């Protein structure tokens, strides 16, 4: 048992050393830097905020997703003209964009009381949801959906 504990502690130390030296931190301006350029405290704080990545490509992809999500929510805020879904109101229709990843087919789900908890905003009309798909559909597939054809 003592040997197992020692081995686990060694593995933890090895992982921490790798993270502190060979991973990447995503900065607020979108740049990425090796964790070895930072103090241990900064790396730990960045990791707690989800900003430490194994590869630079992972960090860049995450940043693109984050920017995209912000952009689509801003778009929805403008085009919904102040309308917000009220999930406590079962009489209010809410139109949510959903996708079948294996086919790449989008559909619009009319919701009243069940909040789909997705990354994408909901809309006040089906017409607006369709417009959203036309505007952002390809980017949604590229940035937010796992490519099922690679499985």
DSSP state of 94: E
Give tens-digit pLDDT for 107-135: 999 999 888 778 899 999 999 999 999 99
Q: What average pLDDT does the segment 11-32 reach?
A: 87
Please report where in the chains the tokens 């990425």 appear, as a residue: 32
Q: What is the percent of the chain where pLDDT is above 90?
A: 69
| Nearest Cα residue to 97 out of 151, 66, 135 | 135
In whole numbers, what is the pLDDT of the chain averaged over residues?
90
Residue 25 phi, psi (nearest 5):
-105, 135
Which whole number is the average pLDDT over 134-150? Answer: 84
- pLDDT tens digit string along 80-108? 999 999 999 999 999 999 999 888 899 99
Residue 140 · residue 65 · CB < 8 Å: no
In order of 63, 120, 135, the CA distances from 76 in angstroms are 20, 9, 11
Instruction: Say if CB 95 and CB 120 are below 8 A apart.
Output: no
Q: pTM to 2 decimals?
A: 0.81
Tokens in use for 133? Answer: 């798909």
Helix, strand, coil percentages for the chain (3-state, nearest 5) = 50, 15, 30
Cα–Cα distance measured from residue 110 to residue 33, given in angstroms and rounded to the nearest whole number: 44
The residue-averaged pLDDT of 19-35 equals 92
């Amino acid at each position: 048992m003592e040997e197992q504990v020692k081995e686990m502690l060694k593995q933890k130390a090895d992982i921490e050393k790798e993270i502190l030296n060979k991973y990447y931190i995503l900065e607020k301006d979108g740049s990425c830097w090796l964790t070895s350029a930072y103090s241990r405290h900064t790396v730990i704080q960045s990791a707690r905020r989800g900003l430490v990545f194994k590869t630079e490509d992972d960090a860049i992809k995450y940043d693109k997703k984050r920017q995209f999500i912000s952009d689509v929510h801003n778009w929805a805020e403008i085009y919904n003209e102040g309308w917000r879904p009220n999930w406590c109101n079962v009489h209010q229709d809410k139109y949510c964009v959903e996708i079948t990843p294996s086919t790449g087919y989008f559909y619009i789900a009319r919701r009243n009381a069940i909040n789909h908890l997705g990354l994408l905003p909901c809309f006040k009309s089906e017409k607006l949801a369709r417009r959203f798909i036309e505007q952002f559909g390809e980017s949604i597939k590229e940035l937010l959906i796992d490519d099922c054809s690679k499985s």
